Amino acid sequence: MTRKMLQFTRLDQKQPDKRAATARKGDFGEISLAFDLDRAGDQASRCEQCGIPFCQIGCPLGNNIPDWLMLNAQGRMEEAYAMSAATNTFPEICGRICPQDRLCEGKCVLEQSTHEAVTIGAIEKHVTEFAFAQGWVHPPRPHKELAQSIGIIGGGPGGLAAAEALRKKGYQVTVYDRHDRMGGLLIYGIPGFKLEKSVVERRTQLLAQAGIKLETGIHVGVDVSLAELRDRHDAVLIATGVYKGRELGIKGDKLPGIHAALDYLITQNKVGLGDSVAAYDDGTLNAKGKDVVVIGGGDTAMDCVRTAIRQGAKSVKCLYRRDRANMPGSQREVAHAEEEGVEFVWMAAPTEVLGKDKVSGIKAVRMHLGVADASGRQAPEPIDGSDFELKADMVIKALGFDPEDMHALFGEKRLDVTRWGTLVMDERTHMTTLDGVFAAGDIVRGASLVVWAIKDGRDAALSIDRFIKAKSRIAAE
């Protein structure tokens, strides 16, 4: 069915239907139901086809959003997928987990003019899932095999995006990851209710079929050195991400019952994948029957509170030092959490963890927003005499992530790092201070979004290709 565009004047925005909160909080299945062809086509036809596509500008990957929306509205689904996949390595993943309300949909002209944005993320997911169902998604195949090889450290979105791009050019690519499955935070950090793991595994299987070697259980710096990888490959890409959770830094923050967000999420994801995890089985990282307090206001905090609900927590509270309007996490995720029974304690910060042999509660203070800091955000300041306590026998720290010690990890002092511990990288070439060693993703920019990691991985692949071709030209002269 071919539809005319600019149908926002007669069609209201319709997001995909969601499973009822009472049903979805009992399992880890995705909460959104799929669009059917008619509804997806109708929603795509709402696009205004702007002369300046602000949605595309708002997307880190620069996705050709108006083009594949029009193709979808016209029923040209195979072309729509080809257009979407041309700029995005994992459109089915971004369609599920990108904070579209802060990126493409937030920049949509219809959103700014009170007509409500085109449902870009849901349509992106629909287009790709339809393509998979029709058998249109194939492993990337190079036109010509090249002799040069690239080693990629880290099997997360940045590393895998680079691997696909380099394999398309014909390079021999090996991805090394310390975990027993590829995918990084896609497989272990993001809960199944946002991204079912079969979606990630389906994509990594395609990469393996393309001839990319996926080496799991290889801890670079322990099982193999960076120096060995440099000898083994013509270029190396570091895309390890950032996994070190930030500490509370308050009295009592080492008591049993306090857990890092990533430890908690990885445990649940492993259980969901069928693994046996002792810390879950003995109740250490299982919220069932517990009063849970999650500290933080980002997307990771939302993942934790919603996971605790599904594990059967007695109560779940999210403690955040700013108000709802100033939290860094997706407003959609907050709404989902509220629907599922999470209580938000805004404008409050922890001052002490209570308990003797284990956590029994959190002491906190009310905050107010003061003068804006250098970033433009108002700095939270404590209100004298406003202390209060929250009951808790499980506390989860979701305060953000920092890089691991790169020098200690890789044993290479010439690998320069910034004062934040991220790798120093030439913005133009993506090369670190070691010749032939490149970097991409969170290990360069700090904890960020999956879509930014994908962009960085694709950009780094282009730089690696230029580097190897330049070396070949010099060798031939």
DSSP 8-state assignment for residue 32 = B
What is the predicted pLDDT for the residue at 475? 79
Q: What is the arithmetic mean of pLDDT over 392-406?
A: 94
State pLDDT tens for residues 309-331.
999 999 999 999 999 988 888 88
pLDDT (0 to 100) of residue 372: 81
141 within some domain: no
Confidence label for 373 from pLDDT (cuts 50, 70 and 90):
confident
**Interior/surface letters 164-197, b for 16+ CB within 10 angstroms, e for the rest:** bbbbbbbbbbbbbbbbebbbbbbbbbbbbbbbbb
Instruction: Flag whether 43 is in a domain.
Output: yes
- Please give the helix or strand (H or E) that residue 301 lies within, else none: helix 299-310
- As beta bridge partners, residue 244 has 402
Domain final position from 397, 423, 444? 397
Tell me, yes or no, whether 348 and 391 share the same domain.
yes
2 lies in some domain: no
Pairing of strands 244-245, 401-402: antiparallel
pLDDT at res. 411: 84
Final residue of a domain: which of 109, 134, 159?
134
What pLDDT is attached to residue 457?
A: 98
321 and 446 assigned to the same domain: no
| Continuous H helices in 45-193 | 54-57, 65-73, 77-85, 91-97, 104-107, 109-112, 120-134, 157-168, 185-188
Task: Give residue 409's pLDDT.
Answer: 86
Of the pLDDT bands very low, low, confident and very high (cuts 50, 70, 90), residue 73 is: very high
Is pLDDT at 1 greater than 80 in this prediction?
no
Q: What is the count of structural domains for the chain?
A: 3
* pLDDT the model gives residue 416: 95
Q: What does residue 179 show for φ and ψ, rounded to 5 degrees?
A: -80, 170
pLDDT in tens, 437-466: 999 999 999 999 999 999 999 999 999 999
Instruction: Find tokens 């300046």 and name the residue.
Output: 52
CATH number at residue 112: 1.10.1060.10
pLDDT at 473: 84
Identify the pLDDT of residue 472.
86
CB half-sphere exposure, 186, CA atoms < 13 A? 31
Instruction: Report the CATH number at residue 278.
Output: 3.50.50.60
Range of the domain at 194: 149-242+403-476
Tell me what pLDDT residue 379 has.
Answer: 87
Whether 95 has a pLDDT exceeding 80, the answer reads yes
**Do residues 185 and 233 both lie within one domain?**
yes
Q: What is the pLDDT of residues 196-245, one digit of tens each?
A: 999 999 999 999 999 999 999 999 999 999 999 999 999 999 999 998 89
Containing H/E element for 468?
Answer: helix 450-476
Please say if the pLDDT value at position 476 is more than 80.
no
Whether residues 380 and 261 fall in one domain: yes
- 53 class by beta-carbon count within 10 Å (0-12 exposed, 13-18 middle, 19+ buried): buried
CB 342 within 8 A of CB 309: yes
**Rg of the chain in Å (alpha carbons):** 23
pLDDT band at 75 (very low <50, low <70, confident <90, very high): very high
- Shared-domain flag, residues 391 and 418: no
Domain co-membership, 301 together with 431: no
What is the chain's mean pLDDT, rounded?
A: 95
Query: DSSP class of residue 222?
Result: T
* Region 150-175 average pLDDT: 98
Question: In this structure, are 364 and 324 located in the same domain?
Answer: yes
Whether 142 maps to a domain, the answer reads no
219 falls within a domain? yes
Task: Look at residues 346, 367, 397 and tell me which one is the last residue of a structural domain.
Answer: 397
Same domain assignment for residues 344 and 448: no
At residue 420, does pLDDT exceed 90?
Answer: yes
Is position 303 within any domain? yes
- Structure-token pair, residue 425: 């990288």
Same domain, 292 and 376: yes
Are 211 and 227 contained in the same domain?
yes
**Residues 6 or more apart whose Cβ sits within 8 Å of residue 57:** 107
User: Do 277 and 384 sit in the same domain of this protein?
Assistant: yes
Q: Tell me, yes or no, whether 139 lies in a domain.
A: no
Over residues 127-138, mean pLDDT: 97
pLDDT (average), residues 9-25: 94
Question: Could you tell me what percent of the chain has a pLDDT over 90?
Answer: 90
Report, as an integer, the average pLDDT of 395-414. 91
219 and 184, same domain (yes or no): yes
Angstrom distance (rounded) from CA 55 to CA 117:
10
Q: What are φ and ψ of residue 350, in 5° steps?
A: -70, 140
Mean pLDDT value of segment 165-172: 98
Q: Provide mean pLDDT across the span 340-345.
A: 97
Please state the separation of Cα 182 from the chain's center in Å.
14
Beta strands (DSSP E) in 199-300 are 213-216, 235-238, 244-245, 258-260, 291-295
